[in-house]
Every structure is written in C-alpha cells, then in structure tokens.
Chains A and B, each alone.
Chain A
C-alpha cells in the first residue's frame, strides 16, 4: 500500500501534539526523561496510528499487536500516545508527578490500560516481547510483538540471550526497534560501551535488519510494511534518531536525558513548542 502525503501530514500533526503533551507533563511533574522520549516520537506515533492492530476500548483484546517499551524511561511519549489513542482521558496526563498517580516514571500495567508489561530496568523487554511472540506462534495467532530498546540498553547481556532465543524459535512475529540516538546518561554510547556494529551483530544473531531515519515517517512506515524482513526470522529496525529531537536546546545533548527544567528553561520550551 502506498504511503500518502495526507497520512504523513496527519502523523506529523500527532507527533507535534505528543511532544507538547510531554512538555506539559514535565511541567506538571517538574522533571522527566525528555531526551529519549523525544527521540522515539515519530517511530511510536507511526506504530500506534498506522500499524498496530489494537483497540483502546478493549485493551486486552486477545488478537491485538503488542508494544513493549523496554526502555521504560521513555514512557512520557507512550503515556501521551495512549491518551491520544483514547485509552484514557487526556486530562489525566496533568496528574503526572503527583503522589500515587497513574503515571510512574516507568510504566506499570496495573495503573493504566494499554501498558503490556512493567519495564524500567533495562534489558528486560525483548524477552517479554519474545515470550508474547512465542505464545502467538503456539496459538497460531497473527499478532506481532514490537519491543523498543535504547541503544545504550543493548549493552545488557540479557538482550542477547533474548535475541538468540527469538532466532532459535524463528519468531518472525517479533520486532525489535532500536532507538539509536547515540547518547546515554553520561554521554556518547560508542565511547561508554561500543556496541557497534549494530547491524552486523543483529544479523549474526539470525535477525533480519533494516536501518532507517527514525524521524522520517516515510522511511518508518515503509520499513513497518516490509515486516518480517525475512520469513522465519525476527526483525530488527535500527532507527537513527536525535536525542531530544524537536526542542532545539535539548537536541543531541545528553544532559537532557533527564530534564529538571528551571522556570526559564520551561518558558523557552513552551515558547518554542507552541504550548498553549
């Protein structure tokens, strides 16, 4: 199916709203993981609004596609997207940061509809998504499991255990998305722990791999449409992104991994993002 400019315009508008929601949440909660939340906006927006088969009115629908945010700290974007999709009232987002709110700093499936697993400690999500995909194979279901990881995260050994199991069981209904923004808490991912060459590593583990611009809706959608890249193999999409994308002073700056804004910074962000 051809990707139309109308669809891309629609997704761009949603992505803009998602970023505004995230800024508002950070304003309410006086802090949040901005950098990674902004680098995944386009990929996750495209996934939820053009790809995932899911039903906000029936979040536990058995045949739904599943999305696991393994890099749980990027949850502000997920919360915003679930609100935009209608899983819950968007006004609830304003409660982020308050005592016992439904929006902890890492997602909790007991607190919100649409969250599939409790993540936060890095390196867990691929195995959980793999188990969901394997259950789908056993039950002969058609759903897919998508797992988003950070590029710093994949230094965790458990990721590679999961990668080999997925390949062993030929889980071509499992999709790993790597948000390669090239920055982690303390700086450049390659300098902190060089996990390159990503593409070759995943291929050598028996995965089909595609590398895309993670902010270009056209590239994102066309890669999703090609899934699985190879029959009988799990698929890995390496999305090259910019940490903090969309907020000029935060872009490519690891110090905005977690942002605790000053009043001045927040005013600048509100002005730049067009937050009302």
Chain B
C-alpha cells in the first residue's frame, strides 16, 4: 500500500473479514440494514449465504449472534456505533460477555464521524461502556494495516471482541510487516518531555503534532494504544518512568475512555500527571468534520497547543 493513499476503514474492514472467511467457513457477516456502509458488499457477493441481514433489530441481533456463536459460528456484526453498543448494551453484557459468546461487534462511523448528524449518531461513550465489561476485548485500530491485523486477531481470539472503526478515509503509517496483538501498545516516537498516548484516528494527528513540537523544542513521545482492553500495563509503567507527563488523545468522551483507562492504572501503580484530550462532558455539536474536531482541539494544531500549555505550564 502506498503510504499516501487513503482508504475507507469500513471497506478495509469488510475486505479483511472476507479474506479470513475464505479460510474459515464458520465466519459470518451480520448487518442490520447497513451491509453496504459496513463494508460487507464484497462479502455478500462472494458468500451470500453467510451474510445475515436482520433489519433494524439490534437487541435481538446480538442474541441471534450469541446463539450462532454457541453453535460454533463466528459472527462479525457491524453497524453504526451508538446503535450496536448502546441500544443493545444489556444483550452484549448478558448474551455475549456473561454467556461468553464468540461474537465480534464492530462499531463504525465512530466518534464525531457523523459530524453533521448530531448527538444521536455520534458515539462518544462506547469505549467507556465496552471497557466496563469483564473479559471484553476493546480495540481501536489507527490505520488500514492495523484494521486488517486486528480483524485477524479478533477472529483468532475465542470470546467477545469490540472493534471501533471510523469512516473518514485514512492512510497507512505502519510498515507492511506490522502485526497488532491484543493487549499491546506501540511506541511510535520517543520523547522525554511528555508522552502523547493516542488511539484510532487520533494517532496520526498526534504523530504529526509531535514532529512539529520537536521544531519548537519540545520532545514529545507518541504511543499508539489500539488495545484499550486489555491495556498494555507494562508499556504504561515503562512510559511513566521515562516521562513526567502524559497527554491522552481520543475522539471520544473524556469520561471513561482511553484517558480514564490510563489514569485508572497509573494513579495506583505510578502516579504522574495525566492530561486528557477528547470530547468534553457535554452534548456534542454538529458541523464539518474537521472543524468539529478542531472545536474540541482534536486536530494537529489543537494537540500542539494543548501540549505547549502543559509543558510550558
């Protein structure tokens, strides 16, 4: 893949599911009236009998996925994030997590991606609620290469997995030999002054911000944290011993997301100053995607500004 080429994460995801489905006939693609937008178009064409359409029935769909998984199937169920995580949260809790069903749920158009459509369609709380569930794996991939790798890992993992995808086109920054592992973070850049820990679409913005901060005399490290649960405790502990401050960056509410997960751990194991960037604890607004992100500082300039404020304090 050319590093500058942009890819629709949903299409990359759908293609990745199709590729593992070619080798494993237990893989199913499940959708609730949005198979095309979930990237399942090619899957439907290749394996029409293994694509299950359930209409707008998110609650029962989770239950059906549980029943399918209890009978040996591996359903990948993809839908718009708030609908697949919140409307059916109790089914996820009881039918997937408590029953322990081998189902992969995939939220798409996450964060502020539905920038014009408003609060009902934006998803700012999904990481919070998903990581509250025992044994749930929560993954937020940051580029096409990582999406492909995390789909393979999710299929290998025997148990419920939540994958959070965006819809804005993204470029690759990983090498072609990169492999994602559940529970592992990744140091992208070292820096002594502060470490930026980011997830999903905020990773590449953080990298660019760190490069520009270097020119301003600030040595900022950057960590990609795709596995929100289980979290890479070893890496966090190591970072906390190398830098005095951490700034977490996510396109998600600051209540309970990546920043909270990092704080929950380090506040007990090695307390250092942790700052959080994300959507504040308020009803999110609407508007053009980049402008809306920038409103909350979730852009390169915003990350630079916040980092300078923290470091120069």
Chain A residues within CB distance 8 Å of chain B? 62, 108-110, 116-121, 123-136, 138-139, 145, 157-158, 161-162, 164-165, 168
Would you call the interface of chain A mostly helix, strand, loop, or mixed? helix
Q: Is A128 a contact of B59 with CB atoms below 8 Å?
A: no
Q: Is B70 a contact of A136 with CB atoms below 8 Å?
A: no
| Contact A117-B57, Cβ < 8 Å, known A131-B64, A133-B67, A135-B73 | no
Q: Pick the residue among B62, B65, B99 that contacts A118 (CB under 8 A).
A: B99
- In addition to A121-B90, A128-B63, A165-B64, 13 A-B residue pairs with Cβ atoms within 8 Å of each other are A116-B70, A117-B95, A120-B94, A124-B94, A124-B95, A127-B60, A127-B62, A130-B67, A131-B64, A131-B65, A145-B67, A161-B59, A168-B55
Q: Is B98 a contact of A162 with CB atoms below 8 Å?
A: no
Residue pairs across A and B with Cβ atoms less than 8 A apart, 18 shown, are A110-B100, A121-B90, A124-B94, A126-B63, A127-B60, A128-B64, A130-B67, A131-B66, A134-B64, A134-B67, A135-B72, A139-B72, A145-B67, A158-B60, A158-B91, A161-B60, A162-B60, A165-B55
Q: Is B68 a contact of A157 with CB atoms below 8 Å?
A: no
Q: Is B60 a contact of A135 with CB atoms below 8 Å?
A: no
Q: Is A121 a contact of B94 with CB atoms below 8 Å?
A: yes
Residues of A within 8 A of B55 (CB): 164-165, 168
| Contact A157-B65, Cβ < 8 Å, known A118-B94, A124-B94, A134-B52 | no
Once the chains are docked, how many angstroms separate the CA of A116 from the CA of B100? 11
Q: Which residue of A lies closest to B57 (CB)?
A: A161
List which B55-97 residues lie within 8 A (CB) of chain A.
55, 57, 59-73, 90-91, 94-95
Once the chains are docked, how many angstroms separate the CA of A123 from the CA of B49? 28
Q: Is B49 a contact of A128 with CB atoms below 8 Å?
A: no
Q: Which residue of A lies closest to B91 (CB)?
A: A124
Once the chains are docked, how many angstroms separate the CA of A135 from the CA of B74? 11
Once the chains are docked, how many angstroms separate the CA of A123 from the CA of B67? 14
Query: Looking at chain B, what size class is its interface with the partner chain?
Result: 20 to 34
Interface: B54 (CB within 8 A)? yes
Residues of B within 8 A of A121 (CB): 90, 94
Once the chains are docked, how many angstroms separate the CA of A129 from the CA of B65? 10
Q: Pick the residue among A110, A120, A130, A157 that contacts B63 (CB under 8 A).
A: A130
Q: Is A131 a contact of B70 with CB atoms below 8 Å?
A: yes
Q: Is B99 a contact of A109 with CB atoms below 8 Å?
A: yes
Q: Which residue of B lies closest to A163 (CB)?
A: B60
Q: Which residue of A lies closest to B28 (CB)?
A: A138
Once the chains are docked, how many angstroms separate the CA of A135 from the CA of B99? 17
Q: Mark B82-124, 1 if CB is under 8 A from A, else 0.
A: 0000000011001100111000000000000000000000000
**A110, A120, A161: which has the most chain B beta carbons within 10 Å?**
A161
Q: Which residue of A lies closest to B73 (CB)?
A: A135
Within the complex, what minimum Cβ distance (angstroms) separates B91 from chain A? Answer: 6
Q: Is A134 a contact of B68 with CB atoms below 8 Å?
A: yes
Once the chains are docked, how many angstroms separate the CA of A131 from the CA of B61? 9
Residues of B within 8 A of A164 (CB): 55, 57
Once the chains are docked, how many angstroms separate the CA of A139 from the CA of B55? 23
Residues of B within 8 A of A135 (CB): 67-68, 70-73
Q: Which residue of B lies closest to A110 (CB)?
A: B100
Q: Is A157 a contact of B98 with CB atoms below 8 Å?
A: no
Residues of B within 8 A of A119 (CB): 94
Q: Is B68 a contact of A158 with CB atoms below 8 Å?
A: no
Q: Pick the residue among A109, A120, A132 that contacts B71 (CB under 8 A).
A: A132
Residues of B within 8 A of A108 (CB): 98
Residues of B within 8 A of A117 (CB): 66-67, 70, 95, 99
Q: Is B71 a contact of A127 with CB atoms below 8 Å?
A: no
Once the chains are docked, how many angstroms separate the CA of A135 from the CA of B63? 13
Q: Which residue of A lies closest to B49 (CB)?
A: A138
Q: Mark B136-163, 1 if CB is under 8 A from A, else 0.
A: 0000000000000000000000000000
Within the complex, what minimum Cβ distance (angstroms) separates A265 from chain B? Answer: 32
Residues of A within 8 A of B95 (CB): 117-118, 124, 127-128
Once the chains are docked, how many angstroms separate the CA of A164 from the CA of B49? 19
Within the complex, what minimum Cβ distance (angstroms) separates A44 from chain B? Answer: 20
Q: Which residue of A lies closest to B98 (CB)?
A: A118
| Contact A157-B52, Cβ < 8 Å, known A110-B100, A138-B73 | no
Q: Which residue of B lies closest to A147 (CB)?
A: B67
Within the complex, what minimum Cβ distance (angstroms) separates B14 from chain A? Answer: 20
Once the chains are docked, how many angstroms separate the CA of A164 from the CA of B57? 9
Q: Is A127 a contact of B67 with CB atoms below 8 Å?
A: yes
Once the chains are docked, how many angstroms separate the CA of A50 from the CA of B294? 67
Q: Which residue of B lies closest to A130 (CB)?
A: B64
Q: Which residue of A lies closest to B63 (CB)?
A: A127
Q: Is B99 a contact of A131 with CB atoms below 8 Å?
A: no
